[in-house]
Amino acid sequence: MNEIPRMARKGRGAVGAPKHRFTTRETVEVDDGWWRDDEAALPKLATTLTPDRPRRIITRNSSPDVAFDRSINPYQGCEHGCIYCFARPTHSYFNLSPGLDFETKLFYKPNAARMLIEELGKPGYKCAPIALGINTDAYQPVEERLEITRSILKVLSAHNHPVSIITKSARILRDLDILADMAKRNLVHVTLSITTLDGELARKMEPRASAPAKRLAAIHALSQAGVIVGVNVAPVIPGLTDSELESIFEAAAEAGAAEAGHILLRLPFEVKDLFTDWIKTHYPDRASKVFSLIRQTREGGLYQSEWGTRMTGTGPYADLIRQRALVARRRFGLERGHLTLDCSRFAPPPKTGDQLSLF
């Protein structure tokens, strides 16, 4: 019997669920005579949810590549299905594939708000902006009914704790009431990630994320409500989306964005193979050019893990992208710079037995 080739599925990003780097057992699907070479014949993959109960809700980091030292991820795995997502390999630690498993087998933190109150109230806690939804999107589709992100924002707002949010979803507008109120106290900054303005490409590359036009509309609505909002072209994919850098900056500026940034495509661990399968399936005519340009920005490889270069790349082509971004930011007035959120207002949650304030 012949092995069944991996195929793209409607509404999902990865082409199949290939093995991960910790795999001890591998299964292969074979044709028993009933298989049809037809996407419509593939069974639909439902999204499953499993509660995750970590010991801490705030994750710390010391990376010099990012502007924050703490973050909260309400979810593990992401239904958006972005094929390039650098967080996909984390599913390997659950003995799950970074491919379709990452998009369909999600973990959520039901006690996030309660745990956050406890951690903010610990002796010695020092306030600094919390980054929300860094590894996986805090506003992915399941947030619509679970509302874990909203519960976290309520806690942060109640205690005047600053937060920075990165998302690809227009669902963030559901929480505009909280965000607009926090913005009045200089407690929130939002970044919308836009990879392409091409709707068809976006549907294939990030199938369950909000359409590019809806993300631009979200930038406009947030800006109108007084929320400082930026745009991040992340990732810039050489040979596929890099030509859109200036047009994305321009569209975001017209929508009300105050600043802009970009991150070069990152392909750590299994993401290299997932992205390879994806581009050979959807854009086989561009594959050789894309990989040639990627290697030109990664010293001949497909990824660099070193701090300082993993998000920007090296070499003439990476330098060209950097220079284009710099010029475009100046041209479209997106040079606001890093926003300093107000940490002085922070009021720790009261401990049991504490005298409550009358005001």
* DSSP reduced 3-state for 150: helix
For the ranges 128-142, 183-197, 334-348, which has the lowest average pLDDT? Answer: 334-348
Residue 37: which pLDDT band, with cuts at 50, 70 and 90?
Answer: low
CATH of the domain spanning 48-331:
3.80.30.30
Q: Does the pLDDT value for residue 224 go beyond 60?
A: yes
Question: In sequence order, which residues have a C-beta less than 8 Å from that of residue 289 and are 6 or more positions away?
Answer: 239
- Give the C-alpha separation, 77 to 48, whole Å: 11
Range scoring the smallest mean pLDDT among 33-47, 65-79, 143-157, 172-186: 33-47
Q: How far is CA 83 from CA 13, 18, 25, 280, 298, in A?
A: 5, 13, 24, 13, 19
Radius of gyration over alpha carbons of the chain, in Å? 21
Query: By mean pLDDT, which of 21-35, 172-186, 341-355 is the weakest?
Result: 21-35
Kindly tell me if the per-residue pLDDT of 3 is higher than 70.
Answer: no
E strands within 2-138? Answer: 48-51, 59-60, 70-72, 75-76, 105-108, 130-132
**Alpha carbons 209 and 332: distance in angstroms, whole number:** 26
Give pLDDT tens digits for 261-302: 999 999 999 999 999 999 999 999 999 999 999 999 999 999
What pLDDT is attached to residue 66? 86
State the pTM of this model: 0.92
Query: Is the omega angle on the peptide bond into residue 212 within 30 degrees of 0, that is, cis?
Result: no
Measured in degrees and rounded to the nearest 5, phi and psi for residue 163 equal: -145, 145
pLDDT of residue 45: 87
pLDDT for 2 equals 53
Amino acid at 347: A
> What count of residues does the chain have?
359
* pLDDT for residue 67: 83
According to DSSP, residue 335 is labeled B
**Nearest in space to 9 (alpha carbons), one of 46, 35, 51, 59:** 46
Q: What does the pLDDT read at residue 100?
A: 96
Q: What is the pLDDT of residues 82-102, one digit of tens each?
A: 999 999 999 998 999 999 999
Q: Average pLDDT, stretch 22-26?
A: 67
Domain ranges of the chain: 48-331
Phi and psi for 276 in degrees, rounded to 5? -60, -50
Nearest to 15 by CA among 39, 36, 33, 32: 39
- Maximum distance among all Cα pairs of the chain, rounded to whole angstroms: 76
Residue 28: what pLDDT? 59
pLDDT above 80 (res 25): no
Residue 151 C-alpha from the chain's centroid: 19
